[in-house]
Amino acid sequence: MTLVHSLADASLPVTRTILVTGSTDGIGKATAKALARQGHRVLIHGRDREKGRAVLREIGKEIDGATLDLFTADLSSLEGVRALASGVEDRYERLDVLVNNAGVYMPERVLTRNGLEMTFAVNLAAPFLLSHLLMPLLESRAPSRIVNVASSAHFDANILDWDNLQGEKQYDGWEAYSRSKLGVVQFTYSLARRLDPGQVTVNCLHPGVICTKLFYSAFPDYPCEPPEAGARTPVYLASSPRVAGVSGKYFDGMKEERSSGISHDRDLQDRLWGLLEKVTGLG
């Protein structure tokens, strides 16, 4: 590979192995392309194998010498998350970066095969479980990074009703999405406290108001930016030496910002952590 990241840091391998979940569409695909263009080995993930193969061909045509691999798994089920982790472990002994990007917006309440509300399952339970399952690969490649794609939507979730966390009593698509993204921020902070930043860092981000299928399903007429704009901050957190050793932070526009007040509540973080351990079978 002749392409080298201009911001290469001597403390990290120039060519990294990076898994980007949900990278056959939207922000994830743009993120994968940008990282491949920097010269990294990018592990593409999607639910549909043929669509994934098409993305591999697309990136391969655009980026000469791109090093790619494809994994297919349905992250709406805990079994799918475990299958993805097992697949990566079977092919790789180390992982430099995990970008938890996959997400959904559900206008109606749908339950997964595990009995979880779909938004909660894909946007929160899946990255929580996947991060834990891939931790041995990340720790073996220290310093390594976890990048969680959250959203400024988390600011709209200013109250947590634990009896309606998965829309058990009343469901609203935007409320479910906002709660899930608040959970991503809280999970990021909780995980960062449990990790040595010299070994593994974990940060989260707002990608911007981006034109994706997910966004159009919620706001079909709202102005938005292209996926390439949404990829800037996840690519920055995955690859820039400027954030080496930085952990437990929320970024917007490649800058560290303060997330919502409720996201910093340690008691709520711990309670959510315990719930996620229980529903994912890690408790």
Once rounded to an integer, what is the mean pLDDT over residues 258-263? 98
Copy the structure tokens of residue 20: 């980007």
Q: Which pLDDT score, from 0 to 100, does residue 229 have?
A: 84
For 219-255, write each residue's pLDDT tens digit.
676 665 788 889 999 999 999 999 999 999 999 999 9
| Per-residue pLDDT at 80 exceeds 60 | yes
pLDDT per residue over 8-39, tens digit each? 333 445 789 999 999 999 999 999 999 999 99
- Which residue in 197, 75, 194, 59 sits closest to 127, CA to CA? 75
Q: What's residue 228's pLDDT? A: 85
Nearest Cα neighbor of 108 from 178, 171, 181 is 171
Task: Look at residues 239, 238, 234 and name the one whose alpha carbon lies nearest to residue 253.
Answer: 234
Ramachandran assignment for 206, one of left (phi > 0), alpha (psi -120 to 50 degrees), beta (any other): beta
d(CA 92, CA 181): 30
146 φ, ψ to 5°? -120, 130
Q: Which fold has domain 17-280?
A: Rossmann fold (3.40.50)
Per-residue model confidence as pLDDT tens digits over 89-118: 999 999 999 999 999 999 999 999 999 999
Active site residue 177: yes
Which of 92, 105, 171, 177 does the annotation list as catalytic?
177
| Token pair of 51 as six digits | 């669509």
What digits encode the pLDDT tens for the residues 111-144? 999 999 999 999 999 999 999 999 999 999 899 9
Residue ranges per structural domain of the chain: 17-280
Separation CA 17–CA 39 (nearest Å): 10
- Walk across the sheet containing 41-46 and list its strands: 67-72, 41-46, 17-20, 97-100, 144-149, 200-206, 250-252, 255-257
CA nearest neighbour of 36 among 12, 19, 54, 13:
19
